[in-house]
Structure 1
């Protein structure tokens, strides 16, 4: 009798525990379903958009241009120098190193600049999912859609670029935000331009580079075999009898690069699978993190959705988070060591230290984080969002300095505290949704695990990313960047 009683009691306890577990799982899934509906999420940020196929002739041409140092003024940098697919569409550095690298083909960790310091003032944003932006490109939004029509990638209503005044459409911007963006790294002396054309206008740089590729004009004779590029451009923009000047134009060069970048659209992740009905796609920790992400502060959440909205996980607006101000700065303040972000463009005090809200899609693979690459872990950047004042007071750039030798930190503390004071002003004026919040270590880990569930597995696989890498040693001019990594 006692044995039967013991067995019955044990069975009852086990059944009760199982029922509690099922109820808890049901409750969290039910709550998440409600939030998904409330925020009108489909899980597919590319829905309704036209995404180029990487195998299209235009994207294939763009890929070869993207990987080629012929577009570097000194022939030592390519677009891929700071945006390699195997490095999350970035460069794995806090601040990028453009021209003058000790080894131009070494990317990511170990890449050094001849001067001993990073020469680019900002972290390289990922080129992944560029097709999903509708309002602005770059940390400061200097490539800006004037219409900001959802789903159009800036293809309607005009685009403002650094070649025009704020709010004024650039008639030569290109077909969309990405094509417009592709034109400007080659005009930056630190990123790609180097010594080309001194202080002459951007249009001269573009014309010179097109001529270099095609063997005409100011660029004539700079490549031994320009017919390599002529044949590729004729396949996309011309006919078998087209002349170089007809098909290798500024607009065509950057239109092709833009199509390659837009083809890098990676959105198939566990969160998408969960939204589509697979309740097993997320771990329990990630589910708890999702609740924290979408819940407001008043309900014990992190209120992350205030800025990271919709299926793209960004509102494409600009905020001051008082992120550590590393590097040489971007022409801000009396000593030019501040980076005022959007304020550099608008010249408004209200916009000082504000930067574009990044998308969180694939965020796990795009470290380090912030406009200056101040943080290397998701947990650290979450903690900063929860309490910027504490984070700034306790920030130690040890890892940043170890992985980015020579990075400038002399004015970091002074400039960062100025950004923090400005954040407090913004909060008092109701211009910033950030509030101090307290979450446990476990809750922060849960949030980080939810963010990891936004990762498309393809970006972690060299095999999956192979279509976005050109065949080795294809360029007879010897300028294709054959990436080396210090893994």
Structure 2
């Protein structure tokens, strides 16, 4: 949770009080969403056919993986029990950031995605989006969620694999868009998929017409329709049902202090970027000419010094289901995360590495916390923090936690489609 400036945020309170309805989401085609459900769990989309979108955004873990930093290509298993693999298939790097939640990404108000905001709606490249693919992102992607779905497929340590291991990884290293046609061919030449695309998309007359655009739109339709949530106790409170006493006290604290300044509106996010000073660890997300294992957050996209170490405010809906917390999963509990917001400097000093959920990978151990030995980098990150401490008692923290639990949808763990038992490729489903 990010807490911004002090004071009552009346406008945020009023915006939140409007609530959410099914009409607030991008419309989807059920047949396309069904294809997307299968693709979401089909490892055919990965370079070495050993990982799917669902591996790190699994239904059993509320659309996340329960890890601080994900175990991508080469790992084994699902969720907190996922291991880093063995032998030549073992991972070469941890995923630099925490697997983001999928809840309500299809809401009409969403206009930027990823922790650093590297995907947003824009006409800058003539394809509707400002993205890492720039002008090479193909036209025809129907929404941000569809566009977002394409990027993990070509990320080396997430799903693509390493160069010389497979044709997808090799093509991606030639140019960012070169692997997408290869992935599309893999999918459309599976007869069951080909037939479903012809049936679900009016402009697809034969399987050969299927491109990465239809694949992205199908996955987007699934994510948008599958991960909607607006039936929490808080939503019931908006309709007149009282909250339990601790949650009600927490609600008043939340809206009458500075929490709602950044966690604003129906989705409890301002979709902006803030420097919280979370304890640093992991491989970082290095930029060209900057090989330090750090993560500059928004600055990596804007190249503006004032954006250093800032990350996108996450939505708080179903936040109690999606631990650990922060862009790098630094804190295992909501209580710990709130304490950090209340006094980030003290929390950084008190943080210990055992709070990070990192499956053992002895060959990476030397690098996992190396950045913390760089005293100058730690000082830069500390200096970037703009939040002032706020005094919270243990009772008040407990009440805030109770309110955050009241943002959990009553049907959050019962999704419309869920995890499929099998997929058309015949590959195993995690």
TM bucket normalised to smaller:
0.7 to 0.9
Q: Aligned residues, how many?
A: 403
What residue in structure 2 maps to residue 99 of structure 1?
73
Q: Which runs of 5+ in 1 are unaligned?
A: 1-33, 148-155, 216-225, 297-302, 428-433
Change (3 A) 1:203 1:409: closer
1:274 to 237, 240, 261: 237
Change (3 A) 1:405 1:384: farther
Whether the 8 Å CA contact 1:388–1:420 is kept in 2: the answer is: no
- CA separation in 2, counterparts of 1:368 and 1:446? 19
Change (3 A) 1:482 1:340: same
- CA separation in 2, counterparts of 1:342 and 1:35? 28
Change (3 A) 1:71 1:121: same
- CA separation in 1, counterparts of 2:389 and 2:50? 45
What residue in structure 2 maps to residue 311 of structure 1?
266
What residue in structure 2 maps to residue 328 of structure 1?
283
What residue in structure 2 maps to residue 236 of structure 1?
200
1:449 maps onto 2:419 in alignment: no
**Deviation of 1:271 (Å):** 0.4
1:70 maps onto 2:52 in alignment: no
Change (3 A) 1:398 1:318: same
**Deviation of 1:311 (Å):** 1.1
- CA separation in 2, counterparts of 1:445 and 1:286? 9
1:162 maps onto 2:132 in alignment: yes
**Deviation of 1:435 (Å):** 1.6
Superposed CA deviations along residues 427-450 of structure 1, whole A, max 9, x for unmatched, are 3xxxxxx22011100100000110
1:124 to 99, 102, 124: 99
When Rg is computed on C-alpha atoms for both structures, the one with the higher figure is 1
Superposed CA deviations along residues 74-126 of structure 1, whole A, max 9, x for unmatched, are 1011111111122111111111111111x3xx210121123467521110001
Change (3 A) 1:173 1:368: farther
Whether the 8 Å CA contact 2:112–2:119 is kept in 1: the answer is: yes
The structure whose RCO (Cα within 8 Å, separation 6+) is larger is 2
1:86 maps onto 2:60 in alignment: yes
**Deviation of 1:52 (Å):** 4.5
Q: Which runs of 5+ in 2 are unaligned?
A: 1-8
- CA separation in 2, counterparts of 1:118 and 1:270? 40
Change (3 A) 1:265 1:255: same
Whether the 8 Å CA contact 2:106–2:224 is kept in 1: the answer is: yes
Whether the 8 Å CA contact 1:365–1:455 is kept in 2: the answer is: yes
5 Å-filtered alignment, 1:318-397, equals 318-331=273-286, 334-397=290-353
Superposed CA deviations along residues 258-301 of structure 1, whole A, max 9, x for unmatched, are 0100011012100010111112xx111111111111113xxxxx
- Normalised TM-score (structure 2): 0.86
Change (3 A) 1:409 1:141: same
Greater mean alpha carbon deviation, residues 204-213 or residues 192-201: 192-201
- Normalised TM-score (structure 1): 0.77
Superposed CA deviations along residues 402-448 of structure 1, whole A, max 9, x for unmatched, are 65655653324246984664454563xxxxxx220111001000001
What residue in structure 1 maps to residue 119 of structure 2?
143
- CA separation in 1, counterparts of 2:384 and 2:96? 25
Greater mean alpha carbon deviation, residues 206-215 or residues 194-203: 194-203
What residue in structure 2 maps to residue 176 of structure 1?
143
Superposed CA deviations along residues 8-27 of structure 1, whole A, max 9, x for unmatched, are xxxxxxxxxxxxxxxxxxxx
Whether the 8 Å CA contact 1:86–1:465 is kept in 2: the answer is: no
Q: Could you say what secondary structure the match of 1:39 adopts?
A: helix
2:426 to 471, 475, 478: 478
- CA separation in 1, counterparts of 2:148 and 2:155? 12
Whether the 8 Å CA contact 2:69–2:358 is kept in 1: the answer is: no
**Deviation of 1:325 (Å):** 1.4
What residue in structure 1 maps to residue 84 of structure 2?
113
Superposed CA deviations along residues 367-421 of structure 1, whole A, max 9, x for unmatched, are 1111111111000000000100000000012142565655653324246984664
